[in-house]
């Protein structure tokens, strides 16, 4: 085989409901569908779905990288994308894998998927319909309102949820140490539902503080922004983190690199969406299925459109 053709299809789609996090209001998802095509016309599809505030490359940087590549591509071009471009690594790596073995359809039941609640007071009216669909694990974004207001809403939400409910709280690194302690104190007092974990309360540069907090409260902590890439997963594990790691597969880097890490380390992983399309989602879910041996719900509660639905 003398080379491969690179196909690019930029996309953008609006969330049905804008995603409110500590980082701000996210209204439009942008990315690239890529194809790696052999001379016989067979094409493997992948997706580049950056999230710059998680530390990935920007979409502009991803496009510039793709346009800088030679035509035709070589296997080296495909499998040696720089580590500074983790979303590109995932896109090229998953496209390469699907060229030889397309990911099969994977059907997770709602009870196996964590449903994303809207931030703020809207969560109180959103959970019943999700519960009726079969979801039992819910994620609620915090660090959006003032802490006293959110803690009051938290009490109302926890009281309203059925006993079998599991709640994840995600601060996206938006709390101070004092605020984190306040949240953990409140979480520890909840007994009628399960608070599965408080996710990334402090920014990644306060790793040592999170490591210490994890030993003093009943409510577990989870890392997210701190472990956005395989290199960061390795780094945090080496520094002693044994709690939950939330892995957004589509921005972690090459799928095989993630497999290698998960195959050689005992880690508590929750696989999560990067709000990719069906192309990236299929590749991410295929990898999640390989390693999600626990009963923890996966974080793929937002269903995106398929590429054919893009304008």
d(CA 192, CA 274): 31
How many Å from the N-terminal Cα to the C-terminal Cα in the chain? 35
**141 annotated active-site:** yes
Tell me what pLDDT residue 305 has: 61
Helix, strand or coil for residue 231? Answer: helix
With beta carbons less than 8 A apart as the criterion, state whether 163 and 137 touch: no
pLDDT at residue 172 greater than cutoff 80: yes
In this structure, the number of other CB atoms found within 10 A of the CB of residue 292 comes to 17
More confident residue, 244 or 107: 244
pLDDT tens, 78-112? 999 999 999 999 999 999 999 999 888 788 999 99
pLDDT over 70 at 24, yes or no: yes
Sorting pLDDT into bands at 50, 70 and 90, what band is 310? very low
Q: What is the pLDDT of residues 249-267, one digit of tens each?
A: 999 999 999 999 999 999 9
Q: Is the pLDDT of residue 175 over 80?
A: yes
Share in percent of the chain as helix, strand, coil (round to 5): 40, 25, 35
Q: What's the pLDDT at 309?
A: 47
**Structural domains of the chain sorted by starting position, each given as residue range(s) with its CATH number in brackets:** 5-100 (3.30.390.10), 110-309 (3.20.20.120)
Q: What is the pLDDT of residue 295?
A: 80
- Mean pLDDT value across residues 44-58: 95
- When pLDDT is averaged across residues 150-164 and rounded to a whole number, the result is 98
In percent, how much of the chain has pLDDT > 70? Answer: 96
Average of per-residue pLDDT values in the chain: 93
Spell out the residues 6+ positions from residue 63 whose beta carbon is closer than 8 angstroms to its own: 8, 10, 32
> How many whole angstroms separate alpha carbon 126 and alpha carbon 123?
5
Q: Give residue 15's pLDDT.
A: 84
In this prediction, residue 263 carries a pLDDT of 96
- Within the chain, where are the H helices? 59-68, 75-79, 86-100, 123-133, 147-160, 177-188, 207-213, 230-238, 255-264, 278-291
Of the residues 9, 27, 248, 303, only one is catalytic, namely 248
167 touches 131 (CB < 8 A): no
Residue 132 has pLDDT above 90, yes or no: yes
Closest CA to 94 of 257, 275, 264: 257
Check whether 234 has a pLDDT greater than 80. Answer: yes
Percent of the chain at pLDDT > 90 equals 86
Structural contact between residues 266 and 294, judged by C-beta atoms closer than 8 angstroms? no
Neighbours of 235 (CB within 10 A): 14
Predicted confidence at residue 302, as pLDDT, reads 77
Angle between helix 86-100 and 278-291 (nearest 10): 80
Please state the rounded mean pLDDT for residues 212-218: 96
Q: Report which of 187, 189, 191 is spatially closest to residue 199, judged by C-alpha positions.
A: 187
Exactly one of 9, 67, 139, 141 is catalytic; which is it?
A: 141
What does the H/E/C string look like for 64-131?
A: HHHHHCCCCECHHHHHCCCCCCHHHHHHHHHHHHHHHCCCCCCCCCHHHEEEEECCHHHHHHHHHHHH
What's the average model confidence in pLDDT over 196-209? 97
Give the Cβ contact number of residue 197 at 10 Å: 24
Predicted pLDDT at 18: 81
* Per-residue pLDDT, 307: 59
pLDDT of residue 268: 94
């Amino acid at each position: 085989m003398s080379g491969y053709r690179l196909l690019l299809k930029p996309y953008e789609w609006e969330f049905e409901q804008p995603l409110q996090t500590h980082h701000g209001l996210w209204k439009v998802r942008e990315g690239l569908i890529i194809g790696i095509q052999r001379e016989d016309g067979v094409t493997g599809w992948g997706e580049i779905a950056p999230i710059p505030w998680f530390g990935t490359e920007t979409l502009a940087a991803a496009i510039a990288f793709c346009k800088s590549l030679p035509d035709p591509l070589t296997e080296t071009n495909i499998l040696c994308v720089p580590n500074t471009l983790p979303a590109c690594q995932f896109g090229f790596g998953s496209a390469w894998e699907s060229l030889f073995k397309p990911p099969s359809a994977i059907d997770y039941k709602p009870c196996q998927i964590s449903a994303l609640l809207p931030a703020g007071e809207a969560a109180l009216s959103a959970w019943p319909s999700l519960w009726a669909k079969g979801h039992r694990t819910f994620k609620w974004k915090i660090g959006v309102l003032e802490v006293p207001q959110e803690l009051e809403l938290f009490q109302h939400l926890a009281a309203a949820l059925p006993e079998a409910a599991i709640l994840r709280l995600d601060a996206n690194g938006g709390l101070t140490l004092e605020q984190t302690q306040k949240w953990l104190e409140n979480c520890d007092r909840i007994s009628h539902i399960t608070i599965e974990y408080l996710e990334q309360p402090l920014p990644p540069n306060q790793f040592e503080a999170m490591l210490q907090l994890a030993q003093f409260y009943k409510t577990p902590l989870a890392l997210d922004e701190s472990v956005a890439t395989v290199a960061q997963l390795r780094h945090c594990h080496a520094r002693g983190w044994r709690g939950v790691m939330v892995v957004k597969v589509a921005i972690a880097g090459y799928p095989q690199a993630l497999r290698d890490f998960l195959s050689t380390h005992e880690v508590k992983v929750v696989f999560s969406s990067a709000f990719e399309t069906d192309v990236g989602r299929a590749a991410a879910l295929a990898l999640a299925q390989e390693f999600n041996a626990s009963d923890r719900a996966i974080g793929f509660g937002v269903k995106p459109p398929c590429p054919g639905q893009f304008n």
